[in-house]
Structure 1
Amino acid sequence: MKDQPSVMTGRFSGLSSKLIATIIGVILLVEIVVYLPSLASFRSTWLEDRLRVGVVAARVLDAVPDVMALPRDLTDRLLNSAGANAIVYRREGQSQMIELTNPVMPDSVVTADLRQGDLPSRVWGALDTLFAGPGRTLRVVGAGDMNESLVELLMPEAPLRRDMIDYSRSIALVSLGIAAVTAFVLYVLVSRLFIDPVLRATANMLAFRKAPENAALVLTPSARRDEIGILERELADMESELFSMLRQRRHLADLGLAVAKINHDLRNTLTAAQLLSDQVATLDDPKVQRLAPRLVTTLDKAIGFAQSVLDYGRETSAVPQFAPVGLRALVDDAGFEARVVGHPVILFRNEVDDALVVDVDGSQMNRVLVNLIKNAREALETAASERRDFYIAVSARSDAERTVISVVDNGPGLPPRARENLFVAFEGSARSGGTGLGLAIAREIVEAHGGVLALVETGQGTRFDITLPARRQDG
């Protein structure tokens, strides 16, 4: 027997580790989904703060007459407040600009239009800034505080990118903290509600498997009303039934062994009595001649019963060895073994098509047919004194899904007691002194082939149908 895996003993192993990893993964995924709009909002707010300085500068420019120039210290303060290299104010087709004393021509300029407020554009712009290389210049465009006025800022992108990285780092630390705390709380809760009961049931199953006859290992279910409670109760019921069944099987095995020994000795005794009765039957005494046949018949029944019990006890559940078998030849052999071929009173008819082939274990299916035909023969022989037109017919029909073999006789039919206990060992015999083992064994063999053995009501006589699955197509 192969070794079975043991229960995981580590607290953070098996389902526990998968649960924690799943919770953390889901929380981080949610944080990422929330992070992207948050990062876009941070970038927009940062740029809008700088743009407000540009609007203030635009007001100053708008208030100063065209013939005057702003003092250099004022323009430097405005540019430093905005963190810009230049501020451009556009209104009514005119443009005014404030720039550094020694402006530097940028190598790469990227436009950020704050007038576009849709979320995808803002998220894409934030990602573009976050993963941009150094040295880029950002052209920020936004509406001024007057109708149809625009304010533009030319500024290096590096400060914005640096602040966004710091913001992202803070968000990451907070997200990890939230994920860890949430995962721990959910883990404790889920462990108490689900993981621990599952581990308990798993450990119980493994322990009970090693010692199924130990009643102390039967699971004690909890009072839960949910699916786990149902699982615990069903597992406890199954283990209790298995415990009782194994104990009963052991008792029956011990009893069967004792009965087999007694039966063996009884058969030997009956055989000796049969030999003695045969000698007594040769005596010329009229009373002996009248009683001897009854004695011989009774001993024959007793010996047959003892032999049937021994055969049933030695019966093994061999796995059928499937192979293509011609059904007509199989029926011919069964009829011969059941002693109906050439019978003086009973006509045996093999109505199976010569070309019909079934995929069965030939020896086992032969035993089924022999039992059915033999039972029919014995029933007809019992009623032979009443009529002489008895027959036993075996026919078969087959389609794409199944093959049905019918064993039919025109005898008196089965008595009610036999019908009630059909296929039950020692109970389903239709004749006095029978064991009823033939039908029980036949049904076991047919079921092992995946088929069904059933009694079919015909109104007259007896008919058994063997229904087998369609022939398997190998390869």
Structure 2
Amino acid sequence: MTMQTDRPAARPLSGLSAKLMTTIVVVILLVEIAIYLPSVANFRASWLDDRLRVGVVAARVLDAVPDVMALPRTLTDRLLNSAGATAIVYRREGQSQLIELADAPVPREAVTADMRQRDPLTLIGGALDTLLFGGERTLRIVGENVEGAEVSQVEVLMPEAPLRAELLIYSRNILILSLIVALMTAIVLYVFVSVIFISPVRRLTNNMIAFRQAPENASLIISPQARRRDEIGVMEQELAAMETDLFSMLRQRRHLADLGLAVAKINHDLRNTLTSAQLLSDQVATLDDPKVQRLAPRLVLSIDKAIGFAQSVLDYGRQSVAPPRLAPLPLRTLIEDAAFDAGLVGHPGIAFSNGVPDTTTISADPDQAARIFLNLLKNAREAMEAAAGRVEAPRVSVDFALEGNMAVIGVVDNGPGLPPRARENLFVAFEGSARAGGTGLGLAIARELAEGHGGKLAYIPLEPGTRFEVSLPQPA
């Protein structure tokens, strides 16, 4: 018996591998970006500090010369070219001194880099500003020169293009290095994770797909790896146990199905034979022979029990497994109808009382709920009839109570109760009968139907008597 479903086949796990590789690369690149920002900011700060140091040297030259205007133009130009600057301004004690290139271009747009502010956000913002918007602007680098107790200010004016060019080269090198590190790390991690995780998951997935297509093939039951003690190992062991149980269950179900089909055929033929015997026994019962008149009722009773047994087995085999179709039902009317079908209404020797209020409703399937109470009331009637003469004022009653959102219906009789053997197998088919010749199917069917509604059926012993309680949900 092969289990077929409409579910699509599982997708190959190559997507999982690609996602893993992509995730690793992206995570590493994000880490590199977090490292890159302060790194490029430090590179820019070091570059600007180098230009300021040249400016400080130029300022010292200016300090040593009484008349700056007397300095040769070639000397000042050489000093400025060594710093890559177009002008250097030196301020001390309220006085300013300036040297600039002879053919210095007129600055179009100036941007200030104040190296006295060295907090991380300012340095990172300045580096990003140079990378994104620099190139054609003039850079005004501002710094301080401390000599003993004297503090002087130095400003260096220069094109921003050389700084941006070096930042781009530095960023390119960082990017190439980051990609190489990310790819190498991703490959190593992928190989490691593939061996530890992806390959076992692919093995589990392929096994589940194959086993689903042929669950009765014992060779497809997965063999757990004994060396694994992690979650994958536990998953393999549990999957193997589940597939083993499913294999055994399906094999047993096939055997039971074959056996049930054979029993149904035999039972059907047996019922036809017993029906013919019943017709013959009815004819024999009309004879005037005293012996026949004495034995005929026993023969008819035995044949009736055999027919009832055969019919019960057929009914149990044809029992529908469809889920209940819930609907609000008037409980009192349901009990009255079930009592009438069970032969309690108008019974000459058994008193019946229905204690369910008129307005009570339950949420249940009409047919299945009727079968539940019909079985219980019929069992109660048969038990009282079997105890005829031993019970004073035989009676069967139905009462009602609420427990939360559940309606609890009790079916009570004052008979002799159930024998110990019947209590042990009360809800087991073919074993829980309380009377000779019974099948024990009534209570088994009633319990299955009650549990299918989200309720339950319970037995409560009384002294004397018997009580069965059915719990069913009320309408929301």
With over 3 angstroms needed to count, the CA separation of the structure-2 counterparts of 1:115 and 1:351, relative to structure 1, is same
Measured against aligned partners, the alpha-carbon deviations of 1:341-389 in whole angstroms (never above 9, x if no partner) come to 1112222111112112222211111111101111111112222211232
CA separation in 1, counterparts of 2:409 and 2:81? Answer: 102
With over 3 angstroms needed to count, the CA separation of the structure-2 counterparts of 1:271 and 1:152, relative to structure 1, is same
The residue number in structure 2 matching 1:111 is 112
Do the aligned residues in 2 keep the contact of 1:397 with 1:404 (CA within 8 Å)?
yes
The residue number in structure 1 matching 2:458 is 454
Q: CA deviation at 1:272?
A: 2.3
The residue number in structure 1 matching 2:412 is 408
Do the aligned residues in 2 keep the contact of 1:109 with 1:138 (CA within 8 Å)?
yes
2:328 is aligned with 1:324: yes
Q: CA deviation at 1:190?
A: 0.6
The residue number in structure 1 matching 2:57 is 56
Structure 1 residues 222-237: aligned runs within 5 Å: 222-223=225-226, 224-237=228-241
Q: SS in structure 2 opposite 1:354? A: coil
CA separation in 1, counterparts of 2:261 and 2:386? Answer: 34
Do the aligned residues in 1 keep the contact of 2:423 with 2:432 (CA within 8 Å)?
yes
With over 3 angstroms needed to count, the CA separation of the structure-2 counterparts of 1:51 and 1:356, relative to structure 1, is same
Q: CA deviation at 1:273?
A: 2.3
The farther-off stretch of 228-237 and 62-71 is 62-71
The farther-off stretch of 313-322 and 395-404 is 395-404
The farther-off stretch of 407-416 and 116-125 is 407-416
The farther-off stretch of 50-59 and 63-72 is 63-72
Structure 1 residues 86-235: aligned runs within 5 Å: 86-146=87-147, 147-223=150-226, 224-235=228-239
Say what the alpha-carbon RMSD is for the aligned residues: 1.9
Q: Which has the higher contact order (CA 8 A, sep 6+)?
A: 2
Do the aligned residues in 2 keep the contact of 1:402 with 1:471 (CA within 8 Å)?
no
Read off the aligned partner of 2:288 and give its amino acid letter.
D
Measured against aligned partners, the alpha-carbon deviations of 1:310-349 in whole angstroms (never above 9, x if no partner) come to 1111112122222222111111111101110111222211
Do the aligned residues in 2 keep the contact of 1:451 with 1:469 (CA within 8 Å)?
yes
2:31 is aligned with 1:27: no
CA separation in 2, counterparts of 1:336 and 1:9? Answer: 62
The farther-off stretch of 338-347 and 96-105 is 96-105
Read off the aligned partner of 2:306 and give its amino acid letter.
A
With over 3 angstroms needed to count, the CA separation of the structure-2 counterparts of 1:7 and 1:67, relative to structure 1, is closer
The farther-off stretch of 375-384 and 142-151 is 142-151
With over 3 angstroms needed to count, the CA separation of the structure-2 counterparts of 1:71 and 1:366, relative to structure 1, is same
CA separation in 2, counterparts of 1:65 and 1:117? Answer: 34
Do the aligned residues in 1 keep the contact of 2:62 with 2:68 (CA within 8 Å)?
no
Q: SS in structure 1 opposite 2:445? A: helix
The farther-off stretch of 144-153 and 38-47 is 144-153
Q: CA deviation at 1:173?
A: 1.2
Q: CA deviation at 1:416?
A: 1.6
The residue number in structure 2 matching 1:341 is 345
CA separation in 2, counterparts of 1:129 and 1:470? Answer: 75
The equivalent position to 2:391 in structure 1, one of 369, 387, 392, is 387
Q: SS in structure 2 opposite 1:310? A: helix
CA separation in 1, counterparts of 2:166 and 2:471? Answer: 81
Do the aligned residues in 2 keep the contact of 1:371 with 1:438 (CA within 8 Å)?
yes
Q: CA deviation at 1:180?
A: 1.1
Q: CA deviation at 1:46?
A: 1.0
CA separation in 1, counterparts of 2:97 and 2:473? Answer: 94
Read off the aligned partner of 2:405 and give its amino acid letter.
E
Q: CA deviation at 1:390?
A: 2.4
Read off the aligned partner of 2:200 and give its amino acid letter.
P
Measured against aligned partners, the alpha-carbon deviations of 1:397-437 in whole angstroms (never above 9, x if no partner) come to 34662222222222222222122112111111111111111
CA separation in 1, counterparts of 2:233 and 2:216? Answer: 24
The equivalent position to 2:360 in structure 1, one of 353, 356, 360, is 356
CA separation in 1, counterparts of 2:299 and 2:336? Answer: 35
Do the aligned residues in 1 keep the contact of 2:391 with 2:414 (CA within 8 Å)?
no
Corresponding pairs, count: 470
Do the aligned residues in 2 keep the contact of 1:55 with 1:145 (CA within 8 Å)?
no
The residue number in structure 2 matching 1:299 is 303
Unpaired segments of 5 or more residues in structure 1? Answer: none
The residue number in structure 1 matching 2:469 is 465
With over 3 angstroms needed to count, the CA separation of the structure-2 counterparts of 1:96 and 1:415, relative to structure 1, is same
Measured against aligned partners, the alpha-carbon deviations of 1:31-80 in whole angstroms (never above 9, x if no partner) come to 11111111111111111111111111112112222476322222112211
Read off the aligned partner of 1:120 and give its amino acid letter.
L
Measured against aligned partners, the alpha-carbon deviations of 1:112-147 in whole angstroms (never above 9, x if no partner) come to 111222111111111111111542211111121423
Question: Normalising by structure 1, what TM-score?
Answer: 0.94
The residue number in structure 2 matching 1:255 is 259
Unpaired segments of 5 or more residues in structure 2? Answer: none
Q: CA deviation at 1:82?
A: 1.4
Measured against aligned partners, the alpha-carbon deviations of 1:441-464 in whole angstroms (never above 9, x if no partner) come to 112212222222222344542222
Q: SS in structure 2 opposite 1:14? A: helix
Q: CA deviation at 1:267?
A: 1.7
Question: Normalising by structure 2, what TM-score?
Answer: 0.94
The farther-off stretch of 386-395 and 308-317 is 386-395
CA separation in 2, counterparts of 1:410 and 1:141? Answer: 108
Measured against aligned partners, the alpha-carbon deviations of 1:82-108 in whole angstroms (never above 9, x if no partner) come to 111111122222222221113444232
Read off the aligned partner of 2:96 and give its amino acid letter.
S
CA separation in 2, counterparts of 1:72 and 1:457? Answer: 122
CA separation in 1, counterparts of 2:76 and 2:68? Answer: 16
Do the aligned residues in 2 keep the contact of 1:58 with 1:89 (CA within 8 Å)?
yes
The equivalent position to 2:278 in structure 1, one of 263, 274, 298, is 274
The residue number in structure 1 matching 2:9 is 6
Q: CA deviation at 1:439?
A: 1.2
CA separation in 2, counterparts of 1:220 and 1:365? Answer: 47
With over 3 angstroms needed to count, the CA separation of the structure-2 counterparts of 1:19 and 1:383, relative to structure 1, is same
Do the aligned residues in 1 keep the contact of 2:417 with 2:461 (CA within 8 Å)?
no
CA separation in 2, counterparts of 1:89 and 1:435? Answer: 114
